[in-house]
Chain A
Amino acid sequence: MPDKKEEKGVLKEAKRALKETFYGMASHVVVRQMLKQRMLMENLFMLITLGDMLGLPILPPYYSLKLLPYALPNIKSWKRQLLQEKDVTDMLY
């Protein structure tokens, strides 16, 4: 009995490894591109809603505040990305 269970575990592990390999070969680049594009989209969205945090008052403040609770988790990374200096290594990604 314990043998069978172990066998199952090995099979499962092999299946997972195979899946990851295929993912790495076929779709990783696509997914990375998508993630990057999504990041840009989210940044744009944040800029429109909470632009006045950086001194760009775009949306009337009443509605900015209304959306603030939902946007909270993204604020830190958004500000970092928007205010960071760009350098040559950016082109590699």
Chain B
Amino acid sequence: MAVSLKEFLDNHPKLKVIVYAGKGGLGKTTASAATAYWYAKNGKKVLCFSTDPQASLTDIFERDLFGKGEQELQPNLFAVEIDGDKRIAEFQEHVRNQIKEMYKLDKLPEEIDEYIKTASSEPAMYESATYDAMAELLAEGKYDLYIFDMPPFGHGVRMISMATILDAWIDKMEEARRKAAELKEAEAVIRGGEIERRDAILEELRAIRAKLDLFRETLTNPETTAFFMVLIPEKMAILDTKRALEMFEKMGITLSGVIVNQVYPPSLLERDDLSEFLRNRIQMQQEYMKEIKKELGKYVRAIVPMFDREPKGFEMIAKVAEYLFEKPWEIGGI
């Protein structure tokens, strides 16, 4: 028998972050919401976080969260859904005002304004802004547990490699900056000018760096972060998960487990009134379940059934949480 989700989480008491990754539409948001719900019910202060521009948490919690900041949905259960575009627009305004204030300008130099506009429309802007939002939340440390509902696969993992690259760059920048400051100081000593101790850029750089370091350290430590993938018993999802597993390994991340979702209870096969359509589907799924067992068996942490309704609203979220945490092998063991 594989280690169940609850056993796994009980064995990792230092956990700070739980990440759900995987292909779109397989149930990442459902699993995130159910996990957040379960922990909140057990007395932990939880934040469920999504950067998905399709506002998936808004749909599942049935409350408008998109771009509204952190919202408490139930005691201890908070959710935030980042509106990337809005955040970028606000950030641009902030930079403009900061420049005007620092240099006592009424109007920005045209060249600078142009630069702010072009930089904001780059695709990398959206990514780095949402990424920064995640790091920021983690750095604030207001919650016991953070649950990240990652947008479809590639994006989520890229964020971690980006942290590593950024870190190296900031290293170099800090060095260049420090040397420049040293030279300035030496010159001041010789010429008897004033020594400027405070370097605003260096301070800003160090703040960015501290935030990113914490983020990366938390996410690459298997004691503090668990990565789960959600899949369904179908060929494409299995292939995708196997690919992800290789990618995780390359990046030095351990996959904590997989959740198999949308499984039809095989016990249905015993019923005589079962339609041909459903029978075929269940048989197909069971074939793929065998494959999952063989190839990903040691990673399976829970099996969640296909429900007769869309998992939306707290009643259904509670039901999913029950299968995830209390009866992971109810509809078939691994």
Contacts and interface: CB of A to CB of B under 8 A. Distances in A.
Note whether A and B form a binding pair.
yes
Interface of A: 23, 27, 30-31, 34-35, 37-38, 41-42, 44-45, 48-50, 52-53, 57-73, 75
Given A38-B183, A61-B128, 10 more contacts: A30-B190, A37-B183, A38-B187, A41-B183, A48-B172, A62-B132, A65-B95, A68-B115, A71-B201, A72-B102
Contact of A68 (B99, B127, B132, B183): B99
Interface residues on B, range: 35 or more
Interface of B: 91-92, 95, 98-99, 102-103, 111-112, 115-116, 118-120, 122, 124-125, 127-129, 131-132, 162, 166, 169, 172-173, 176-177, 179-180, 183-184, 186-187, 190-191, 200-201, 204-205, 208
A58 B176 contact: no
Nearest to B127: A60
A20 B217 CA distance: 53
Contacts of A44: 176
B191 A67 contact: no
B120 A70 contact: no
Contacts of B179: 38, 41
B191 to A, nearest CB: 6
10 contacts: A31-B187, A34-B183, A41-B179, A52-B118, A52-B122, A61-B120, A63-B128, A63-B132, A69-B95, A72-B112
A37 B179 CA distance: 9
Given A31-B187, A57-B124, A63 B201 contact: no
A60 B166 contact: yes
